[in-house]
Structure 1
C-alpha cells in the first residue's frame, strides 16, 4: 500500500509540474519587437505577456538553457523546464568506470569545467594544457575527456560556460573566454549531472527525454571490452530500469548504426530514435540542395526504419528570388518520404546582425536582426512542418508554440 501511495504521489507531482505555467520572461517579446514589420510580427505581438503559457513538446531544450546557464547542469535543466521545454536533452558519454554522464562531447572537460585548474585531475587529462606560442603560430590546446576520470572524480568538477581562447598564452586566459553574448553570472553553484541524475530530475519535472549517444573519442571497444553496442544498450537500459515508458524517450545519435541498433534490439525505444544528420560536415560533397549528394537518400533512410531526422537549421531552408525563407529540397524530400523532422539549434549563433553565422548560412540574405529567428521558426513550423526545434533558450520556442498552436 505504501509503494502504491508513493507512486501515486510521484505521478501527481510530475503531473503538477507539467501543468505549471511556463515562465516566458522578456526575451521572446524583445525578439518580436525587433522583427521586420508584417503579419507575423502582428500575430506574435497579439499573444501578449498576460496570457498563460504552457510547456510544449515543440520546444526542445538544447543542453539545458546554455544561453545563460552552463550546459548540461541541473540548474540549466530546471531553467529549461521552467521556460516550458516539453523535451529536455542530455548528451550522453561515459567515464573511465563506464558510467554515463551528461556532456556535449566525451572530450570537452577542458572547455566546460574547471578541470585544468585542478592539478590532481588535470594530470589525468589525455593532453595537458599547452599555451599558444605567437612566435610559431601554435594555438593553445588541451584535451580532457570524461573517460579520463571515474564518475566520482567527474562529479567533483565545477562547470563553466563552454569556451576556450586558442590564442591564450596563460591558463587563466584560456579558460576565461566566455563570448560577450553569453554570461558567467550563473556559473557559481552550478552542478554537473550523471545520466541517472538527469533521468530522475526530468521525470520529477514531468517532461520527456531526449538523450544523445555521443560518438566516442577513444578507440572502441574501450579498454578492450566496452563495445559501441554495449554503450548504446546501456543508455536504453537506464530508462527501462527507471520505469520510463518508451514513448517518453527520444534517443538520438549522429551515427546511423546506433539508430539501427535500437530499431533491431529495442524497437519500442527505436521507433522514436532520432537520426542526427551532420553529413554537411562529415560527408564530402554533401549538399542539402542537391539530392544526388545524399547517401543514403530519404527513401533509403525510411526503408531502414528511421522515422525522425534531425539536421541543423540551415539544411531545412533556403531563399527564393525575393530573399524569402522557404523550405529546402532536403526538407521537401524528407517530408515526402514520410520522415518527421526536428531542427537544431535556435539561438545558438549569438546576435544575428550580419547574417547569423553558420546555423543561418543558407538564408543569410534574409537575416539581419535577432527577430529573424522567429521568422525562420515560423517557416520551419508552418512550411517545413518540423515537429520540434532545439533551442539554447527554450522560452522562445515555447512562446512561439503557444502563439501558433504547435504541440
Structure 2
C-alpha cells in the first residue's frame, strides 16, 4: 500500500478509543485524525453479507439483548475448538442485523465512548468501502483498507466462505480484484491462500498471535500443528516467504516478550531482530494494538494502578516504531500519528 510515511498508521476498527468500534463515526473519525488506513473485522450473515464486527458473537458489541424478537436465536456452538454462547451473525439476515445498534466493547475503560451506545447502526463491508472512497477524495490521498477475516474455517464449514464472499463484494463495490489500497489479513493461512487463488490483488498478511496455533491447522493436524511461535522464528519466517506478503504480530513480540525457557521448537524472534529477519525474507511487518490505557501498556509504562488511566503511551509507541516495522494498528490514530511525527522530527545522526 503506497504511503508517504513509515510506519503506516492503521485505525484499528476505526478509532475505537473515541467511538464504538466498527461504526461509521469511528471510521470517519479515524481518517479525520490522520489514519492512513482502517481495519475492519469481517464476519458473514446467513444471507452472505459481510458485516463489520469484532467477532461473529455479537452480544458484547450490540444491543441484541434488548431485542426480544431475537431471544430464540441465543445458542451455544463450537468456534475454533471452543464452546461459545450468544448470538451469532450467521443466524441473522442483514435486514435483521441492520435493526441493531452498536455498543462500546470495553465501557469500564472507555466511558466517553460508551456515551454513544445505541446511536450507530451496524455496517457492511460495502458501507466501509464507500467511507474509504469519500475520505480519499476529501483528503486527496489514497487511503487504505486492511480487511481481517475472522473465523474463516468456521464460516467455510457452514457454507459461507469468506474469500468467495469478499471477492463478490469487491466486484459489486467497483473495486474489481482489489489493488494497492487493499491489505488482507487472517490468523489462518488457508483463507489467505484462497484469496490468492481467487486472484484478489493486495498484500496478504498472516496474523501471528502471542501463543497457540492457527485454528485451521489445529483442525487438520491436532497437536502436531505448527505454533505461532514457530512462525515467528527465522526458519518460520523464511517458510512464509512467497506464501504471504507480510506478518502482523502481537505487540509483545515487538516489545521483546521472551518465550518460556523450556518451550519446544524453534526460538521465536523479538523486537528489531524479528523485524529485520522478516524484512530479509521479503515480508512486511505490522503490529497490534497500540493503546494508551494502563491495562494495555507494558508494566514499566503504566501510570499508577487505574486500568483506564493513560500511561507513557508515547514511550511505548516510539519504542515499537523505532524497530523499523511497516505499520501499526492503533485505537487512537492521532496518538500513533503524533508518535510517528516525534520520531521523524528527531535530527538524523551524523
- TM bracket, shorter-chain basis: 0.7 to 0.9
Partner in structure 1 of residue 65 of structure 2: 116
User: CA 1:227–1:101 in structure 2 vs 1: closer, same or farther (change >3 Å)?
Assistant: closer
Question: What is the alpha-carbon distance in structure 1 between the residues aligned to residue 235 and residue 122 of structure 2?
Answer: 37
Task: Give the gaps of 5 or more residues in structure 2.
Answer: 78-83, 137-142, 215-222, 259-269, 304-309, 346-350
Partner in structure 1 of residue 174 of structure 2: 243
Partner in structure 2 of residue 309 of structure 1: 247
Partner in structure 1 of residue 42 of structure 2: 92
Question: What is the alpha-carbon distance in structure 2 between the residues aligned to residue 292 and residue 200 of structure 1?
Answer: 35
Partner in structure 1 of residue 338 of structure 2: 399
Question: What is the alpha-carbon distance in structure 2 between the residues aligned to residue 279 and residue 371 of structure 1?
Answer: 22
Secondary structure of the residue that 1:196 maps to in structure 2? Answer: helix
Question: What is the alpha-carbon distance in structure 1 between the residues aligned to residue 334 and residue 71 of structure 2?
Answer: 36
Q: Does 1:297 align with 2:239?
A: no
The superposition leaves residues 92-115 of structure 1 with CA deviations (integer Å, 9 ceiling, x where unpaired) of: 1100111111011111x1111110
Q: TM-score, normalised by structure 2?
A: 0.76
> Matches of residues 310-329 of structure 1 in structure 2 within 5 Å?
310-318=248-256, 327=271, 329=273
Measure how far apart 1:399 and its partner are: 1.8
Among candidates 9, 28, 34, match of residue 59 of structure 1:
9
Query: Mean alpha-carbon deviation: is it higher for 397-406 or for 192-201?
Result: 397-406
Q: Does 1:335 align with 2:269?
A: no
Measure how far apart 1:56 and its partner are: 8.1
Q: TM-score, normalised by structure 1?
A: 0.66
Partner in structure 2 of residue 156 of structure 1: 99
Question: What is the alpha-carbon distance in structure 1 between the residues aligned to residue 201 and residue 271 of structure 2?
Answer: 31
Q: Does 1:126 align with 2:75?
A: yes
Task: Give the gaps of 5 or more residues in structure 1.
Answer: 1-17, 19-53, 129-140, 164-177, 321-325
Question: What is the alpha-carbon distance in structure 2 between the residues aligned to residue 154 and residue 217 of structure 1?
Answer: 22
Partner in structure 1 of residue 321 of structure 2: 381
User: CA 1:82–1:375 in structure 2 vs 1: closer, same or farther (change >3 Å)?
Assistant: same
User: CA 1:118–1:205 in structure 2 vs 1: closer, same or farther (change >3 Å)?
Assistant: same
Measure how far apart 1:317 and its partner are: 2.3
Q: Does 1:351 align with 2:300?
A: no
8 Å CA contact retained: 1:106, 1:216? no
Question: What is the alpha-carbon distance in structure 2 between the residues aligned to residue 127 and residue 216 of structure 1?
Answer: 18
The superposition leaves residues 21-47 of structure 1 with CA deviations (integer Å, 9 ceiling, x where unpaired) of: xxxxxxxxxxxxxxxxxxxxxxxxxxx
Question: What is the alpha-carbon distance in structure 1 between the residues aligned to residue 179 and residue 335 of structure 2?
Answer: 27
Partner in structure 1 of residue 209 of structure 2: 278
Q: Does 1:252 align with 2:188?
A: no
User: CA 1:69–1:227 in structure 2 vs 1: closer, same or farther (change >3 Å)?
Assistant: closer
> Over aligned residues, Cα RMSD in angstroms?
3.1
Question: What is the alpha-carbon distance in structure 1 between the residues aligned to residue 34 and residue 232 of structure 2?
Answer: 38
The superposition leaves residues 209-244 of structure 1 with CA deviations (integer Å, 9 ceiling, x where unpaired) of: 11111114856431xxx253xx21321332233233
Question: What is the alpha-carbon distance in structure 1 between the residues aligned to residue 209 and residue 231 of structure 2?
Answer: 17
8 Å CA contact retained: 1:65, 1:77? yes
Question: What is the alpha-carbon distance in structure 2 between the residues aligned to residue 61 and residue 160 of structure 1?
Answer: 18
Secondary structure of the residue that 2:147 maps to in structure 1? Answer: strand
| Greater C-alpha radius of gyration | 1
Matched residues, number: 301
User: CA 1:263–1:148 in structure 2 vs 1: closer, same or farther (change >3 Å)?
Assistant: same
Question: What is the alpha-carbon distance in structure 2 between the residues aligned to residue 117 and residue 102 of structure 1?
Answer: 20
Among candidates 368, 372, 386, match of residue 302 of structure 2:
368
Measure how far apart 1:267 and its partner are: 5.3
8 Å CA contact retained: 1:57, 1:86? no
Question: What is the alpha-carbon distance in structure 1 between the residues aligned to residue 165 and residue 228 of structure 2?
Answer: 34
Partner in structure 1 of residue 115 of structure 2: 185
User: CA 1:216–1:115 in structure 2 vs 1: closer, same or farther (change >3 Å)?
Assistant: farther
Question: What is the alpha-carbon distance in structure 2 between the residues aligned to residue 273 and residue 242 of structure 1?
Answer: 20
